[in-house]
Structure 1
């Protein structure tokens, strides 16, 4: 019998929130995996930033700005939605909102430096007369009446209702330790709702050196598991990071995780709510258990480069029967089998992100490119895949393949309420042996191909083996997609009819005025 166990767990932990002053309710968007709480901007800091920006004596700048050497600004200076490169002199306080302060050699600020939603990078020869305050969390604001002043934006409920849990923290602004219990990922038909729990540590070892350790267990609420897995998973992660911008670091992970086959379509939150409310799970999953280590470089805020070596055991997992709000008496779509085995993967990825908002961007670029070279010496190919779909996979220990994924997006505002979004996506096999089932692709469904059914193009019509019945398995070697989207308002105006010829044009009860431009 299916029981709404997840709701009972969250209901049981919620009363503890009021018991401790440092305990916070954690709401985290887009929890695609185990959750780690992001920093939050204190209310008093946000109000102070708005007050300083709106002060009549403040010089206000918008977008990326630069003050070359030999130049001087007198009075307080505030920059929003862009970084400031400073090589000259500011006679006053510098405020940067949702950007970085980059202080070049010889830069002078006689007052304080306050950065909200960014970092400070400075040379050794920089002179600062006051204190330096850095708050990584961005400031949510709106522009008042089309003018130059700003005001705090109202709370965004889409960001609030995403991931629920509690966290108890100790420490200072430089070093912090926490105990957390929270929803650890996306509700799905394999795990139910995973609950992550355990300690988190973030320590400042030196002026520009930080160590982070996450030791989390993951309880899978769907239960009824086979001997291939248990009700518990885990994630142990350590990260040693040097600097803010530029930043360099190394990372090590040990994990027992239920991983998605395709995670580039709908957002994790959308997939989870669709599954929990309507028993429609738009992803497939497999069990991944292993180790990973890597290095990363972040020369500036938009750009990050990662290199990772990953070794894991990947195996098929069956769909369970977690409780849902609607259609609870119906059967879930079966989770398709994969090509089991131990895989070693070398992965290189590049991310470039200048979007002004990660959840609902209206301007900026986003690029994610990932190359993978992977292989297995004990792969067990699924026998039900015909040669018309893919060629044979060698089982003599020589199995290797190369895979590339590329996602480029551009967001442009074209009117006060309208914007144009462009996207080019391509990915799949680029060399070596055929791809395993867990690395194959498809197109269709609400995103990115709205108006078409789930996995409308999945290259699986020739797969008739009973193991794949009703699974709608993704089986394509490659996909490519170009998308243009307009989002805005259509003005619909009511008009009353009239008997006079002069008002003949107003007889229509509903008039479409067109795009809001």
Structure 2
């Protein structure tokens, strides 16, 4: 089955090259099975560019406002900014990579057409035509005062590939997907998902999405064993764009990463496939989950999640890799098996001007989790110096809390500063199970240190954990800072005009960013005794791990060199396929 990985990759590559009406499926960051996000249909992208370039269209760039009592005559197009309409638009309103806010009393006699954003519509606003909203952004480049479709982003070809055949209209569609369903790893090999996806418009502002995907784990033997086959069934009912609210239900059988907040999934997969270096641990999760969310405006969202699943240890297999194929994989660490019921709440505040390439704004996320298990099976071999014994009388419960705060600021036309503070871990109840414990180190977020340089596992000597580099800490804290200065270069190949889309060469490079970076952080155990800190204290700054580094980032494809602020640590080089944060 090792060669099956190459067969799947070749099949996906051939299908992409041959199918003119299919779309490259780029999966989002997620744990376990990943569902393709809604793609911007090619016909919609062409229509947006055509409407924007029309000679009769009035074009605006950046945040704009039409006050009450004022009128714009003819079609209006806005790109890269929010448009607030309180007056009258005598024509069609097109918004590209921005939001449309229609205040009470606003009148648009034609259509409202939004690509890469949302619509917030007051009850008193009037739209004479249709309201069409596509949240997927439009990738374009400017040609003088006109727009042209941008060539594909080179670094996306290094993420998860797939093909998707779609049918339907602009409002409702169904599709058949064949794609990588996660990241290449030593437990599954290359997980491949296949199945139908349905997206229906039930009412003017109500949509229903249904996904039914099977998962084939290429490191297995394609039997009916749980470890070889998986699935994801998901339904989502969503009302409105902004404000918006909805509910979701999932049934799943997937392989879930223990820590997924460091390297991106695509980077972990390529490191494993090329160099047999898997920077995550995994466990098998099978169960059901539900979610309810409310989004009062574009920048604010609240999610409430409930999940019940069976979590069990799963061993590493021996999938084929390009290099070091004869070497043994790092063992996959065991977990505390059992049925877990988890309730969680996540609050997100996001004012970034661009989700993928932000240069301004805030990103703030807080998440609280409470989990319980009546039949937990504690893994033996974990000494009391790492954690106290877990109760097995049906009362086991614990809580975790996480914060992720980021600030993006442009300080000059070519210079940006990015700041991040991340902290989280145990906040109450019984000790954490092994699959919910933490660590920090390289290659991300501390690029100057080795893998899991701070993992709290020094006292674990049981043979079951030998060479696993188990993440065993209760809490973690991290601070990161970057300065980016842009070099003005522009190399591109092939035309991106809509009429030449099928003939363009899929390769575009723009000038790189010179990156100066600094990271500092630590992970630790909570409690009393040697090597622990009380629950109300943080590690002293003198105990934090810290590094400094430089990098060249070319649209997310970056090469970094970092040095730990510790005697004896060598320079470490890291190749990244995405921005660090």
Shift of 1:26: 3.1
Aligned counterpart in structure 2 of residue 322 of structure 1, from 319, 322, 343:
319
- 1:283 maps to which residue? 280
Q: Please tell me whether the aligned partners of residues 370 and 406 of structure 1 are also in contact (alpha carbons under 8 angstroms).
A: yes
Matches within 5 A, 1:289-368: 289-368=286-365
What is the correspondence of 1:75-474 to structure 2 with a 5 Å cutoff?
75-142=74-141, 152-223=149-220, 229-474=226-471
Q: How many matched pairs? A: 492
Q: Is the CA contact 1:97–1:116 (under 8 Å) kept in the aligned structure 2?
A: yes
Q: 2:482 aligns with which of 485, 499, 505?
A: 485
User: Which structure 1 residue ranges, 5 or more long, are not aligned?
Assistant: 492-511
SS at match of 1:159: helix
Contact 2:32 2:257 in 1 (8 A): no
TM-score (norm 1): 0.87
Give the secondary structure class of the aligned counterpart of 2:297: coil
Give the C-alpha shift of residue 62 in structure 1. 4.0
2:264, 2:39 → 1: CA distance?
22
Q: Secondary structure at the match of 2:10?
A: helix
**Distance in structure 2 (CA, Å) of the matches to 1:251 and 1:109:** 33
How well do the aligned residues superpose, as a CA RMSD in angstroms? 2.9
How far does residue 271 in structure 1 lie from its aligned partner after superposition? Answer: 0.6
Aligned-partner Cα distance in 2 for 1:462–1:18: 53
| Deviations 1:64-85 (CA, angstroms, capped at 9, x unpaired) | 4333323334454333222222
Q: Is the 8 A contact 1:69 1:107 kept in 2?
A: yes
Maintained 8 Å contact 2:443/2:451: yes
**What is the CA distance between 1:206 and its match in structure 2?**
2.3
- CA distance 1:50–1:213, change in 2 (3 Å): closer
- The residue that corresponds to 1:505 in the other structure is none
What TM-score do the two structures reach when normalised by structure 2?
0.78
User: Partners in 1 of 2:143 and 2:354 — Cα distance?
Assistant: 19
- Asked if 2 retains the 8 angstrom alpha-carbon contact of 1:444 and 1:456, the reply is yes
1:34 and 2:33 aligned = yes
* Cα pair 1:91 1:109 within 8 Å, conserved: yes
Displacement after TM superposition at 1:326 (Å)? 0.6
Q: 1:266 to 1:194 in 2, by over 3 A?
A: same
Higher Rg of the two aligned structures: 1
* Cα distance in structure 2, aligned partners of 1:415 and 1:4: 50
Residue 281 of structure 1 and its aligned partner are, at CA, apart by 0.6
Distance between the aligned counterparts of 1:379 and 1:385, measured in 2? Answer: 15
Find the residue that maps to 1:299 and give its secondary structure. Answer: strand
Q: 2:8 — aligned with what?
A: 9
When structure 1 is superposed on structure 2, of 444-453 and 243-252 the one drifting more is: 243-252
Q: Is the 8 A contact 1:29 1:163 kept in 2?
A: no
Q: What SS does the aligned partner of 1:488 have?
A: strand
1:148-180: CA deviation from partner (whole Å, max 9, x where unpaired) = 766544421112442222333322222222222
Q: Distance in 2 between matches of 1:349 and 1:423?
A: 18
Are the structure 2 counterparts of residues 350 and 224 from structure 1 closer, same or farther at C-alpha, using a change threshold of 3 Å? Answer: same
The answer on whether the counterparts of 1:118 and 1:138 sit within 8 Å (CA) in structure 2 is yes
The one-character-per-residue Cα deviations of 1:221-268 (angstroms, maximum 9, x if unpaired) are 111699973310111111121222221111111111100000011111
Structure 2: tracts of 5 or more residues without a match: 489-513, 517-549, 553-581
Distance verdict in 2 for CA 1:364–1:295, change over 3 Å = same
> For the Cα contact (< 8 Å) 1:30–1:162, is it kept in 2?
no
- Partner of 1:479, secondary structure, is strand
**Residue 559 of structure 2 corresponds to which residue in structure 1?**
none
Q: Give the secondary-structure state (helix, strand or coil) at the position aligned to 1:396.
A: coil
Change (3 A) 1:454 1:440: same
User: Could you tell me whether the CA contact under 8 Å between 2:28 and 2:34 is conserved in 1?
Assistant: no
1:508 aligns with none
Query: CA 1:460–1:490 in structure 2 vs 1: closer, same or farther (change >3 Å)?
Result: farther
Q: 1:173 and 1:131 mapped to 2: Cα distance? A: 12
Residues in 2 aligned to 1:49 and 1:12: alpha-carbon distance in whole angstroms = 32
